[in-house]
Amino acid sequence: MASAVGKIPALVSTAITLARPKFNIFMKYARVELAPPKLSEIPQIKAGIGKLLTSAKTGAWKNQTVKQATLNALVGAEVIFWFYIGECIGKRHIVGYDV
């Protein structure tokens, strides 16, 4: 038991050394992907929303491949799931509000 406890600092040090490059890659992408939109990106966002509405009105969504439709459905499901997770975090309960 004492030898196992003595190995813990070495194991933690090794784990930190091995995890550091992957953590740096994560932080690199997190700074870009998780940042809120800048004011200079608002025209691109408006254009994207306009394109989405136009394709919905003209029925262009019907001309997608199965792969594209599946990917779009998965992205939509992800957005819905994150919304519900945020709701649970906000109300601090899984079901209903604590009144």
Domain assignment of residue 44, yes or no:
no
Domain assignment of residue 52, yes or no:
no
Give kind and range of the element (H or E) at residue 85.
helix 66-91
pLDDT digits (tens, 9 = 90+) for 57-96: 998 888 989 999 999 999 999 999 999 888 888 887 777 6
pTM greater than 0.85: no
10 phi and psi angles, rounded to 5 deg: -65, -40
Domain assignment of residue 79, yes or no:
yes
Domain assignment of residue 8, yes or no:
yes
Residue 90's Cα: distance from chain center in Å? Answer: 18
49 touches 43 (CB < 8 A): no
pLDDT digits (tens, 9 = 90+) for 9-67: 888 889 899 999 999 999 999 998 888 888 999 999 999 999 989 988 998 888 989 99
Q: If DSSP codes are grouped into helix, strand and coil, which group holds residue 98? A: coil
Domain assignment of residue 42, yes or no:
no
The tally of domains found in the chain comes to 2
Distance CA 84, CA 82 (A): 5
92 touches 98 (CB < 8 A): yes
Domain assignment of residue 46, yes or no:
no
Task: Note down the domain range covering 99.
Answer: 62-99
